[in-house]
Amino acid sequence: MAEPELAVYIVDDDAAVRDSLSLLLSLRGYRTATFASAEAFLAAWQPTWAGCLFADIRMPGMDGLELQAELSRRNSRLPVVIITAHGDVASARAAFRSRAIDFLEKPFDDAGPVAAVEACFARERDRVGADAVEERRREGLAMLTAREREVFALVVQGKHNKDVARELGISPRTVEVHKARIMAKLDARSLAELMRLAQ
């Protein structure tokens, strides 16, 4: 599975803010995409997008908090940074309750947005990496032979090799071989990991 490219999505009805933020982050080597409204962003949004979203809290139509809530309804895991020229405690609290990563007040210095992007991208790299491992494991499960599936089902019930061997009419050594193949296919390093995968 190809790793998605991380980008910063900027949603603000103020063209000057969009452009300056995009320029600042582009000069630091980040890919950016800008949108003049939450509605325009949602029309373009793809579930595979990774990186982070900077959303203005006050915009005509759907505001930043409503956009954050709508993305949550769509099961988006894109980290959100709320930006505003009207910072207040209630808005900040609402943003963080909806799992915003940061809350930046305009006008912001260069350091604030860059630090927010770095925090979001670190989290996204971890998530994308974990997703890739899960995808490999799903593919591994699909590649198990019928016998490996039988061994897997019994092993994750906590049965010992001798019990599995007796139940399947094979030798304990053959059970060991199957277990080794199963762990390799599922990228599992321990029996505990196999148990977690079964759940």
- Please state the rounded mean pLDDT for residues 55-60: 90
Do 194 and 154 meet the contact criterion of CB atoms below 8 Å apart?
Answer: no
Whole-prediction pTM: 0.68
Q: Which residue ranges make up each domain of the chain?
A: 6-134, 144-198
- Domain at 144-198, CATH from 3.40.1360.10, 1.10.10.10, 1.10.730.10, 3.40.50.300: 1.10.10.10
Residues 111-170 have pLDDT tens digits of 999 999 999 999 988 888 787 777 787 887 888 888 988 988 888 888 888 988 998 999
Higher pLDDT, 193 or 113: 113
- Please state the rounded mean pLDDT for residues 84-113: 76
Q: Looking at residue 187, what DSSP letter applies?
A: T
131 CB burial (10 A radius; 0-12, 13-18, 19+):
middle
CATH 3.40.50.2300 fits 6-134, yes or no: yes
